[in-house]
Structure formats: C-alpha cells, structure tokens
Structure 1
Amino acid sequence: MHGLQHPTPPPLEPARWLESQEYLFGIDLFNHSYYWEAHEAWESLWHAANRQGNIADFIKGLIKLAAAGVKAREGNTRGVNRHIQRSLELLRHACADQRLFCGIAINELIQSCTSTLQAMHEIHMPQPGLILPFVIQVENQSN
C-alpha cells in the first residue's frame, strides 16, 4: 500500500542474491512494466545497504532504470534519458569488470540501456504510455 512503511529487508549479498525476495520481486515487477513498484522494492534494499558502496550503487542503478520506466509511461523522454544515463554511470562503477552481478548479465543490460537511449533520440513528441523496450535478464548462477 502506498505510504505504508515496510520493514527493512536483509541486505542484498551478491553470493546469495537468489535468496533475496525483494531483489527478485523488483526484477519481476520491472519486467512486467510495474516500474514504480520495482523502484519501491529495490529502494528497501538500497536502504539496507546503507545507501553507499558498490551494492548500494548497483541497486541505485536499478532504481534509476525503474525511474526511467516511470518517465517512459509519462511520455517524458528527457526524463528517460536522464535516468538511464545515471543508471549507466552507477552500473558501470558498481559492476566494473564483472560479466555477471547478482544474476544479471551486466554488459547485456548496459547494451539494452544504450540502445534505448539511441531510440529515445528518435522520439520527438511526448508519447505517454511507452514502456522500456527490454527486460532484465537473470542467469541462474550464484554470483
């Protein structure tokens, strides 16, 4: 329920990401275009990570992607661009030199974000109701 405080979940641990219900729920929500709800799920993990460090930056990168989805639904292409660019900065920093982080193929996600940025440049008029043209792929490996 909106405005209701939820208990802080255990911090996301890269080696045990499959055990994080909030993390996985956020991915499911994002992949079904429930961007605001994904943002909320991941924000609790960001707080659990004390909002600093690589894990916090990784989670914040996902939160920024969800925010881009919210802006896409609003038809705000500038907002989409701004949030995706910030997401890319955070993901590149947090996951430097890692092919797979918390089950996500980082290079593929970065490529999807980059392609979305390029596509957003071709949209000249606001188009409310847009969704992001990718999902977050998860590989069932424990890292």
Structure 2
Amino acid sequence: MRLAQDEPELERNAVRYSTKPLLPYRYLPGLHPHPVTNEHGHSYGASDESHPPWQPEEWHTLEDWRYGVDLCNQHYYWESHKAWEGLWLAVPRRSVPHRFLQGMIKLSAALLKVRLAMLTQKDITGAQSLAPAGLELLVSVGRDHYMGLALEKHIETMHEYFAPLVMGVLPDIRASPLILLDD
C-alpha cells in the first residue's frame, strides 16, 4: 500500500485551513483498506458523529468544512467527502448550504474517479457524470461568494479543469484546482 509520504507527486504547498493532521494514506477504493470498516484502515473504529445545526456565515468556525478543504487540496478526495458529510446532513435538504456541500462532495467524488482512472485504467463514466452534477449544484447556490469561497471563480476553474472529460480525456490530477478560502 502506498502511503501519502510515498506519493511526492501529489504533495502541494497549499495553505492549510485546519489544525487537524493529514492522514497516512489517500483512500482509493479497491486499492487500499477501507478507512473505517477495515481494521487496517486509517480511521478504523471512528464513528460518524452528527454535526449540530450551523449557519454558512460561521464557515470560519466549522472545523469539518476547513478540514475537508485541506483534505481535498491534498488529494484526499474520499476523506474530504467524509469530512463534509456531517455538515451536509445537519442542514435542511435542498437548502442552499445543502446544495453547496452536495456540489462540493460530488466534485470531490469526480476527482476521486479521475485519480482512480489514472491509476487503474478504469472507465471515466463516473467522473463524466459527477463533475457536471456537482458544478450544477454549485451554480444553483446563486452567489459569487459562499462559505469563504469565491464560488463563481471556483466553478469556472473546475469547469475548465473537467472540460477534457467531455472528449473522453482524463485531466491531470496533479493540476486539479485548489479550494482557496478567504482569510
């Protein structure tokens, strides 16, 4: 199993928004032990804790939001989804924060599919459907700025990054856009 330290090609000098440490490996389904259910997983035995209700204006105090951003920026795509999931479940369905986080989760899943396809020559259908679905959800938020993110710019950057998928071409995972939050 390749640990994160064995993947220098994925290391980024990105701003960190959380104080939580990064995990020993970037989970890839079928290639690594499942993080939670396998006794060798990096988060084995961790329970899914429910998150209390929250407001988007409190984004800078939401450790799970900031940690998910750090994880996604460092190519821990499955883990970023897990970090954001509790927040997503804590807000009313179809609300703006719900759609926003669902969009971020789908984009993270699309990035995971791109990474898997690069490593295992799997088909890219998952990435081809998840990326536009995630972008559509983010567009539905209807704001230039949201939860510390220049949302309109992020949507544009992600759209450009995923554009090759339309032609059946994988984008380079090392060039995936960073999620940049306000100070």
Taking structure 1 as the reference length, what is the TM-score of the superposition? 0.84
Ranges in structure 2 where 5+ consecutive residues have no aligned partner: 1-34, 38-45, 118-122
Match of 1:67 in 2: 109
If you compute each CA radius of gyration, which structure gives the higher value, 1 or 2?
A: 2
* C-alpha contact 1:109 1:136 (8 A) present in aligned 2: yes
Q: Distance in 2 between matches of 1:21 and 1:106?
A: 19
Question: Which whole-Å CA distance do the structure 1 matches of 2:85 and 2:56 have between them?
Answer: 17
Kindly report structure 1 stretches of 4+ aligned residues shifted beyond 4 Å: none
| 1:32 and 2:66 matched | no
Cα distance in 2, alignment partners of residues 40 and 49 from structure 1: 16
Q: What percent of counterpart residues are identical? A: 28
Is the 1:12–1:23 contact (alpha carbons within 8 Å) kept by the matching residues of 2? no
Partners of 1:132 and 1:56 in 2: CA distance: 27
- Looking at structure 1, the residues matched to 49 and 126 of structure 2 have their Cα atoms a distance apart, in angstroms, of 30
CA displacement, residues 9-52 of structure 1 (integer Å, 9 cap, x when unaligned): 23342211100000000000000000000011111111111433
Q: 2:173 aligns with which of 107, 115, 130?
A: 130
Secondary structure of the equivalent of 2:173?
coil
- Aligned Cα RMSD in Å? 2.1
Instruction: Using the TM superposition, name which of 61-70 and 112-121 deviates more.
Output: 112-121
Q: Match of 2:17? A: none
Deviations 1:61-114 (A, max 9, x none): 0100110111011114332221110011111112x1x22100000111111121
How far apart are the structure 2 equivalents of 1:99 and 1:58? 12
Structure 1: gaps of 5 or more residues: none
Picking from 36, 52, 64, the partner of 2:94 is 52
Q: 68-77 or 39-48, which moves further after superposition?
A: 68-77
Q: 1:78 to 1:12 in 2, by over 3 A?
A: farther
Residues 46 and 56 of structure 1 are in contact (CA less than 8 Å); yes or no, is this contact kept in structure 2? yes
Which range moved further: 102-111 or 74-83? 74-83
State how many pairs are aligned.
136
Q: Which has the higher contact order (CA 8 A, sep 6+)?
A: 1
Instruction: Find the residue that maps to 2:182 and give its secondary structure.
Output: coil
